[in-house]
Amino acid sequence: MDSNSNETRSRTERSPSGWGITRRTMLAAGGAAVLGGLAGCSAVDGLIDRGAQQLVGTTASAPAAFYPGQAPPNQGPDSDGDGLAFSLAGTTEVRAVPATVRADSREIDLEGWSTSAQQKARGPGYRRKALAGRPPRNRPRTQSADDDTDTETADDDALREYLENEPTIGERFVVCLPDAKLPGDRGSLAEQLTLDRVLAYFAPSREPDGVRAPFHDQYGSQGIEYDDDGCIRTVGSVSLHEDLACQNILSAELDTYRTAGRGIVGHGMEGAAVVSGAPISAGTIGTRVFLTTDGTGEIILGEDRDMVMPGDNVEYDNGGSGSQTLVCPVAVTPVDAPTALPGLFYVRRVIHDDQIILAGGWILDEGALFEESVTLLFDEGLTEVASVTPDDIESDEYGDRIVEQFVRDRSRLGSLVGTTLAESTEMNNAELIEQMASQAFQTDEGRKGLNAVNVKVLGERGDDDDDDDGSDEIWLSATALDAPLVHLAGAQELSEEEKFEAAGSGEEVDILGMGAEKL
């Protein structure tokens, strides 16, 4: 895929800042509000070329975003104490990211969209965790010249200060492209965008002598190469936007090279799965795993070649589909961080309304950063997608119209990140698990599976625990891999004028247009 073929595009992309114009950066607490203010703005000028549609099937798409979720009463980011608290997503950014298909000596534009939002650690609960007297794991240290004792470095102090002042703990993205056919019996765009290739667009291997495909391309990223600027330059019939090719969708820099010694642990069973990061020595499943979406809870090692073939293991339900979810460790450098931090990357592909939706993100791997801390990623099955129209967005019942399309109760939490202080690795009756995980983890098997995961992350309890009070408490953070999406309907029917009219006047919009008191 050529990152340079989109140099001349529609007026909606031109700006002094160059590529990937930000149509609106909403001061909102989540993506659903962005859809309310950005409902389907066109990324390609002019009427749809009917001949192009005949060649590739569809050229239109519309923006989608993670449903931000609604925290239960008294459990928002300003909640005090060590109890359960949820963190909302912050500013959401929307970009036009059109793609190009070359066929029959012509270029066909495909409308594309991306949304992204940072997750900040706000509130007393997160601050108390940073100040709880638990030093970060593997923090930078230097050897004293006078004696052989370790001394903290300036980098260590800067990291501590960063973690104590609302650090970025995660970021989510959604990319929407048409589910287009590729001319000449070359399959479809969805088949080219395997999860391994998507990983390469977000988290390459940033090695000392250059940028390479993730994990040294040992999983077969289909010949992806990077130019001197770190942008993907694969030659083919499809060119994705530079913001994708050059890893500009997320504000943080992701790297799969600086992850030595980290892997994925997890537990899967009927109706649920959970994964986390842990040292390789802890008996991890692998450095890259897939979670199925068929309800079996199966977690499959990434080295299984059958799992990375295009089109495999896709589940269809009422016209939608979902791929497995790829999860792997990454090193993450947020724009305001003094150093790279350990993280967990995840992504899945959804086909909805004749569009490819790539939904994923990263979250801070607190088990690798803090002592006595665990980050859990829960999954139950297919991603739920709520379709909304411009009329829905204008309605005073917009939020209700989204939530009523969800089947799972836990989908109401959306993409929230929860944190709490649990009594032990077994986490019996832990409120965060009761709300964030599926019912399968409320069973004896589920609790035992969670305990096994926590032991691998933390190590056997008591071995090195020198707490005088005998405390067996751990800090726990969790979020959903299958967090629901909100997707604008009618991409084919809405004209450019209608889409711009639905975009609104650009005023500030709060979450779902409801106001903070409705959260």
Q: What are phi and psi of 13, to 5 degrees?
A: -100, -15
Do residues 189 and 238 touch, judged by C-beta distance below 8 A?
A: yes
* Edge-to-edge strand ranges of the sheet holding 64-66: 64-66, 485-488, 385-388
DSSP 299-359: EEETT-GGGGSTTTT-EEETTEEEEEEEEEEEEEE-TT-SS-EEEEEEEEEEEETTEEEEE
Strands 385-388 and 485-488: parallel
pTM score of the predicted model = 0.84
State the Cα–Cα distance between residues 345 and 362, nearest whole angstrom.
Answer: 4
Give the Cα separation of 326 and 347 in Å (integer): 5
List, for residues 471-484, the tens digit of each pLDDT value: 577 888 999 999 99
Q: Where does residue 517 rank: exposed (0-12), middle (13-18), buried (19+ CB within 10 A)? A: exposed
Regions in the chain scoring below 50 on pLDDT:
3-30, 38-48, 131-133, 139-152, 220, 305-320, 463, 466, 468-470, 499-519
For 292-301, how does the pLDDT look when each residue is reduced to its tens digit (9 = 90+)? 877 788 888 7
Q: Kindly report the backbone phi and psi dihedral angles of residue 26, in degrees, each rounded to the nearest multiple of 5, phi listed first.
A: -85, 135
**Hey, what's the torsion of the CAs at 217, 219, 220, 221, to 10 degrees?**
-70
